[in-house]
Amino acid sequence: MSLLIIWPDSDPAAVVEQAADPAEVSAALSRIGCRFEQCPVRPGIGPASDQDAVLAAYRDEVDQIVAEYGFVAVDVAAQHPTDDPGWPAAARELRAKFADEHTHGDDDEVRFIVRGSGVFYLHADGRVHAVQTVAGDLISVPPHTTHWFDMGLVPDFTTIRFFRNKEGWVAFPTGSDIARRFPDADAVQARARALGAAN
């Protein structure tokens, strides 16, 4: 399930807002200029699906987003557990790449999750907004918004990424340690599971 948790950026123990209803998540994120919506999930996309298969399955949505934002590059990022003995170390390295606060300058960060889940953290208006995204979720982080992404200890997701920069993902770190002061993706996902079980 999708889940939004908001804390003051000075106190990770004080939840000021929480929402699991997609319409409520969208409304709350719109206050900081972030777009959040849910799209239909196409069948047949699994951990082994390659980039061509994913883009073909979501061609209509991809074309619409590219036209709307004027993106010049699209790719698919995917991770899933494997039996390769080197996978845990590679997963830790990849997680670390995105897990500190950064911006993308003038570029929006638009991600369409098509399998699995991950948590985006947006630092805006003196608050930290943690958004667990799941299959079917589209999220757009506005330009210059400080944020980070945590894929968890055992990354398992497939997402379509959109870029205005032909070089793809280019980040500008803020140098802040704020990401290490707030609950990580595994804690947010555990909270989402508990809420889902209770409902």
Domain enclosing residue 81, as ranges: 3-198
Residue-level pLDDT at 195: 85
Give the CATH number, domain containing residue 61.
2.60.120.10
CA dihedral in degrees (93, 94, 95, 98; nearest 10)?
A: 120
The pTM is what?
A: 0.95
- Give the chain's domain count: 1
199 residues of the chain, pLDDT tens digit each:
899 999 999 999 999 999 999 999 999 999 999 999 999 999 889 999 999 999 999 999 999 999 999 999 999 999 999 999 999 999 999 999 999 999 998 888 999 999 999 999 999 999 999 999 999 999 999 999 999 999 999 999 999 999 887 777 888 999 999 999 999 999 999 999 898 766 5
Structural element, H or E, at residue 181: none
Residues with Cβ within 8 Å of 99's Cβ and at least 6 positions away in sequence, in order, are 148, 149, 150, 179
